[in-house]
Structure 1
Amino acid sequence: MQHPHEIALLLARWQFAFTIGVHIVFPAFSIGLAVYLAVLEGIWLKTKQQVYLTLYRYWVKAFSLVFGMGVVSGVVMAYEFGTNWSGFSMKAGPITGVLLSYEVLTAFFLEAGFLGIMLFGMNKVGKKLHYVATCTVALGTLISATWILSSNSWMQTPQGYKIDPVTGRFLPEDWLAIIFNPSFPYRLVHMGLSAFLSVAFAVGAVGAWHLLKSKKTEQSDNHPARVMFSMALWMITFVAPLQLIVGDMHGLNTLKYQPAKIAALEGDWETESRAPEILFGIPDMKEERTKYAIKIPYAGSLILTHSLDGKVPGLKDFPANERAPSPVVFFSFRIMVALGCLMILVGFGSLWLRWRKKLFKSSFFLKLVLCMAPAGFVAMLCGWVTTEVGRQPWTVYGQLRTADSASPVLASSLTFSLILFVIIYCFVFGTGFVFLLRMLRVSPETPNNQDGKVRIGMQPHKVDSSK
């Protein structure tokens, strides 16, 4: 039977996992979509082709909704640090608190300052200045991700600090070492590409939906849908293989600094050279073995060390109380990798269809891309599960245990708040998601999107093309 403190700790972890799991989807959507909007407006300014302005107006409304939900969902986590994780806030606050405050002072104010111009100022400030506002908002989303990932990466690979011998607090010694910690560059690029891929599949799925609907009704070719579908597939074609390369580099970095995490996600128990790669199995923490393992000889060493003779760590090298729960990260990692491979196949498939001039005509491929709409976000969430659960039992890897980071909160209080969060989140963000789907179900080539009016603010304004 579990101790009440252990139950409370587990509930606190579940609560934070739920809230951040919901929240992370919105910033990722905002990052990718903001950059996409900057590309659309830039192409429109360069080519003067109306279709790109049409798509900009179409997606900027979705961006405003997603951005708002991201802000609302993110506020909750700030309070959770104080209520559920006071030990972490007290000990790691001198570092993580400063990094997160930089995110507010730079990125959030930058986004908030130019968001109004981006949404409502196209007919008031001129096209070029409006484009600057769009690019600034896109830059702000990237800066926001930079500070947040720097803070989280420091928790994964801490450096540049000292520990106060009296209070046990982490005190900064070298801010450059803290910010640019060993895992930060890999995780920043990996997360950025993940956001681009997630949005590419979402945009491609919306384009596929409208193309399928146009074919069914035999109305028109829906040129805006064709353009957004083509742009999304180009992004997928180039970024998906690049993500695989970055993921491999990130894996090498993790093997160097967090070998226990690698052992857990690989399901390896014995340290060995020429290690096999376990494609499937069921890790058993009690029996210390992976049951029903399907292995590829030598592939584990080759993938993880780029050498057939490379040594791969096993979980038995680490004390039982310092091992991450292997079953969780084992399967979350494989789901992420499987979806990534499927994304690469979709990109290569689009090249083949382009060559045969059937990219917009293949009903099977259009339906496949439509079904892949959530693939990027699911893969991203699986990646976060692998990263965060694989770090356990540490909050600051190797230095501060999760059990020592939690607040002395009753399990009953955590149960009540967790249930309340689930109910409120499902209602609020479920409603927002339904509204977003209804918004995107309207074709970008409908009269409302083709009459030259910007329908974002309270009053429509005619676009002055002479500016």
Structure 2
Amino acid sequence: MFDSFTAEILARVQFAFTVSFHIIFPAFSIGLASYLAVLNALWLRTKDETYLTLFNYWKKIFAVAFGMGVVSGIVMSYQFGTNWSVFSDRTGPVLGPLMAYEVLSAFFLEAGFLGIMLFGRARVGDRLHMLATAMVAFGTLMSATWILSVNSWMQTPAGYGINEAGQFVPEDWWQIVFNPSFPYRLTHMVLAAYLTTALVVGGVGGLHLLRNRQDRPARRMFSMAMWMLICVAPLQIFAGDAHGLNTLEHQPVKVMAMEGHYHSYPDGAPLILFGIPNAKEKRVDYAIEVPYLSSLILKHKWDAPLDGLDTVPDADEPPVAIVFWSFRIMVGIGFAILGLGAWGLWRRFRGRLFDDRLLHRAAIVMGPMGFVAVLAGWITTEVGRQPYTVYGLLRTSDSLAPVAAPAVAASLLAFIVVYFFVFGAGTFYLLRMMNAPPKAPIPGIKEGPLRTVSMSPVAQTNADETPVNRETRDV
């Protein structure tokens, strides 16, 4: 099956497979941790039981997603030693400390406060519990900050030197951490995580509204999700545009692939909406394009010249078809998210937000689309960087460990089997949790690993009733 693949291709496929599984869980947990902090703060401020119900509902889902993200991240990191040892040796002096800072300042923070957030309200009190919830949310954002700094440095390296052994060594940590693409990449990713979470919350809310329009927690979560979409989606579009301009400045070849510009345009480039990239003939077949619009977007002038891939050696070109289509999937979903948010805003103003069953069904369909957009965005970023691991400095072919293709193929097959079994089961469990409606906390039962029950006489009487007696009494 893998006879025609080299060790490099197999190692790249393996890393792409594992990182694709991994990224969907942090993208969800980053947004969900912040959502939990907002729900907890609103509960403390208003004492509205609906917020507490939603907090207790989503914190269990967060715990499972967080655990799956940790496990998938640990497995992924081992590949730096097994398949990419040359890359690890060359970049270790720069990237190693950044990865360590992520563990020490972010992962330990969120993991240390996670238990208090999940089980500690009855033991530490509302204020300290709120602090723990905020620290978990802050820890997830810090974790994203360090990881995005690492990835951004690989895209736009700065603040480094090269020693006699060919290793990248730090010269200015400020420039390394805050490299040219880091602010744009971090903003784009965090907003994507918030939108991804809002889509999931909106989809779950829409599901339960279809079953019961009067479900108060479902109404509240759906309303909050729709507000998030209409507020954040426009910001994401502007952030994406700024990120694209930064990419044009520092990684122009990636933009050429994204736009499908095989040829240079000295008098203004068209925006190719759709088409089939033809790498052999160096053109986009069946192209549907808007004249001059690419120059207007990228250079803010109709007739601004744009270079094409004809200015780049073939060996330095990324796989155009993958980058071309992944970019369009990401952008298309982004505008669909904006459309869903606008639809929700219109129905809200008409007083029909909780009655529009078509809107609720659309929210369910869009529920997983945030994950698809995140994956498409990362494919655009990582495949567009090829053929380099450190852009312009270290080629992917020179980063590989001295491993044989059969060994990589065997581990890849093992990963596929184990991942689909373990994470498939975990995802199925998450979906079952979301399928269950949020329920208000039972009076007299406090949170914690060891639950204590203090029932009122009426509650005790109700608890002692058999199902038949209870049903007879209700009738």
Matches within 5 A, 1:71-150: 71-150=70-149
Match of 2:246 in 1: 253
> 2:82, 2:401 within 8 Å by CA — same for their partners in 1?
yes
Contact persistence 2:121–2:447 (CA under 8 A)? no
Q: Which residue does the alignment assign to 2:467?
A: none
Give CA-to-partner distance per residue, 1:146-173, whole Å, 9 cap, x none. Answer: 0000000000000100111x31100110
Q: Distance in 1 between matches of 2:64 and 2:392?
A: 40
1:441 aligns with 2:435: yes
Alignment-mate amino acid for residue 231 of structure 1: M
Alpha carbons of 1:27 and 1:454: their partners in 2 closer, same or farther (altered >3 Å)?
Answer: farther
- Residues 10/281 of structure 1: CA separation in 2 closer, same or farther (3 Å cut): same
SS in 1 for 2:212: helix
Whether 1:265 and 2:262 are equivalent positions in the alignment is: no
* Aligned residue identity for 1:230: S
Give 1:7-406 correspondences, 5 Å limit. Answer: 7-164=6-163, 166-215=164-213, 221-272=214-265, 273-406=267-400
Give SS of 1:403's match. helix
Runs of 4 or more off by more than 4 Å in structure 1?
Answer: 460-463
**Mapped contact 1:119–1:457 kept (Cα < 8 A):** no
SS of match in other structure, 1:390: helix
Tell me by how many angstroms 1:440 deviates: 1.5
- Relative to the length of structure 2, the TM-score reads 0.93
Residue 461 of structure 1 and its aligned partner are, at CA, apart by 6.6
8 Å contact from structure 1 (residues 26, 69) kept in 2: yes
279-288 or 12-21, larger mean C-alpha shift: 279-288
Q: Identify which of 412, 426, 447 aligns with 1:432.
A: 426
SS of 1:271's equivalent? coil
SS in 1 for 2:273: strand
Q: What are the superposed Cα offsets for residues 103-151 of structure 1, whole Å, 9 maximum, x if unpaired? A: 0010011111111111110000000000000000000000000000000
Q: CA deviation at 1:459?
A: 3.1
Q: Kindly indicate whether the alpha-carbon contact (under 8 Å) linking 1:123 and 1:462 is maintained by their aligned counterparts in 2.
A: no
State the AA in 1 paired with 2:239.
V
Q: Is the 8 A contact 1:123 1:461 kept in 2?
A: no
Shift, 1:290, TM fit: 1.1
Once the two structures are TM-superposed, the CA of residue 409 in structure 1 deviates from its matched residue by 1.0
Specify the structure having the higher radius of gyration (Cα): 2
Unaligned runs of 5+ in 2: 456-475
Give the Cα–Cα distance (whole angstroms) in 2 for the partners of residues 462 and 382 of structure 1.
51
Q: Which moved further from structure 2: 384-393 or 166-175?
A: 166-175
Aligned length: 453
> 1:354 is matched by which residue type in structure 2?
R
Counterpart CA distance in 2 for 1:456 and 1:435 is: 22
User: Does the aligned pair in 1 maintain the 2:120–2:447 contact within 8 Å?
Assistant: no
Unaligned runs of 5+ in 1: 216-220
Distance in 1 (alpha carbons) for counterparts of 2:448 and 2:262? 57
Aligned to 2:469: none
Q: Summarize deviations over 1:297-317 as a string: whole Å, max 9, x none.
A: 111101111211222220111
User: 2: CA distance between counterparts of 1:365 and 1:452?
Assistant: 38
Q: Percent identity?
A: 55
Pairwise mapping of residues 452-467 of structure 1 onto structure 2 (< 5 A)? 453=445, 457=449, 459=451
Cα-to-partner distance string for 1:88-108 (whole Å, 9 max, x where unaligned): 000011111111111001001
